[in-house]
Structure 1
């Protein structure tokens, strides 16, 4: 019994540490219905590849931290985020829950990269856009296209062309 209690307390401590390791960079929008669930959904569904803090460098994956908000620059690049295969085909079937996860990712991890006045994703928007999921074959070209738009039209830094800061071109 004592061993079970000690193990339970240790697990609770690790959960607490895990939450402490997930501070958002920017303020989260009020549109997120359950910020703690959105944070844990990000950790479970996205953090394994993109990193719990939104940085998986030097993995060959786009860095989210301080950068992903630039994709809210145009309606097309905004839709691109929802159409990404791992989002569009997410096991999270509830569109509001998925919108909350993406809002956590964009506003929390993207922080200062979110354009002023950008609106949070809605359940209706997620339901509409996830029907048009991109194929993995088109991801690299699509990302490059929207990065160029963000640089030219919205003032995103040219370093966005790289998957993560410090990557060798």
Structure 2
């Protein structure tokens, strides 16, 4: 019975968060319903159902994660994050859809208009190179500095969430 209640709460929360996929994501996600469901099941517990993880010490995705599409190294970083590359989602096309949902829907206007969507081939190429031995904090900080300098990403991207007053920690 508890599982049914939890599923109902998640369903209601999803509806409250808005079941529609953002217009920037249309055509970039093969199965938007599955992608959103995969996000909620695999990412939403930590990053928040709507991509707002604050005040958790995790980066807010909402209206920010799309900046990572501006540079090939930052784009690959999103796939190579341990929780992405080691995801229980074994189908690379399904994982690409989840990433496209994150960057084009949750990322909103932060995703460059001309950014191509993630593909199964790209996920298959980057996934084996998971960032298991890297300092994610240092790597993210270096990537964000490049995004601020070369892609006009906001300086607030340095923080985990926009209203945070101290440098990012993760």
**Which residue number in structure 2 is paired with residue 58 of structure 1?**
55
Q: Distance in 1 between matches of 2:51 and 2:23?
A: 12
| Correspondence for 2:135 among 126, 134, 138 | 138
> What CA RMSD, in Å, does the superposition of the two structures yield over aligned residues?
2.0
135-144 or 85-94, larger mean C-alpha shift: 135-144
The change in CA–CA distance for 1:22 and 1:123 in structure 2 (over 3 A counts) is farther
Q: Post-superposition shift, 1:148?
A: 0.6
Listed as ranges, the gaps of 5+ residues in structure 1 are none
Alignment map for 1:1-169 (pairs within 5 Å): 14=9, 16-23=11-18, 24=21, 27-135=24-132, 137-169=134-166
Q: Size of the alignment, in residue pairs?
A: 162
**CA deviation digits over 1:27-46, x for unaligned, max 9?**
31413121001001000000
Is the 8 Å Cα contact of residues 29 and 103 (structure 1) preserved in structure 2? no
Q: Post-superposition shift, 1:165?
A: 1.2
TM-score, structure 2 normalization: 0.88
Is the 8 Å Cα contact of residues 50 and 64 (structure 1) preserved in structure 2? yes
TM-score, structure 1 normalization: 0.88
Which secondary structure does the structure 1 equivalent of 2:135 belong to? Answer: helix
Is the 8 Å Cα contact of residues 27 and 111 (structure 1) preserved in structure 2? yes
Q: Distance in 2 between matches of 1:51 and 1:123?
A: 25
Listed as ranges, the gaps of 5+ residues in structure 2 are none
Rg: which structure is higher?
1
The change in CA–CA distance for 1:11 and 1:86 in structure 2 (over 3 A counts) is closer
